[in-house]
Amino acid sequence: GENVEQHPSTLSVQEGDSAVIKCTYSDSASNYFPWYKQELGKRPQLIIDIRSNVGEKKDQRIAVTLNKTAKHFSLHITETQPEDSAVYFCAASFPRQLTFGSGTQLTVLP
């Protein structure tokens, strides 16, 4: 089955700085890579996703990059704000299911 590794497990940044979270996956057939944000006590919500025919996707302050050769994808958050503090999960597709990474606790310090 698919294996997804996510790093770092915790990340603290100063407000206004950038944050980068990285994931690697094992199954070269995976073709869909979403990122979910889970605020404390709330449900995970999709914030951005990318498909294997695209190398980069942006949505305002967040972007995702994909390197299919290296089986690696990353989430980039620029100009971080306190409301960006949450746990972020990457995932990779596998037939009929997503395999999730273990999560990154992002803390944005004021």
Binding site for another protein (CB under 8 A): 4, 6, 9, 31-32, 34, 36, 42-46, 49, 51, 89, 93-103
Q: Is 94 strand, coil or helix?
A: strand
- The answer to whether the CB of 15 falls within 8 A of the CB of 109 is yes
* Angle at CA of residue 10, ends 95 and 44, nearest 5°: 45
Nearer to another protein, 36 or 73 (CB): 36
Measured from the CB of residue 102, what is the shortest distance to another protein in angstroms?
5
Nearer to another protein, 78 or 105 (CB): 105
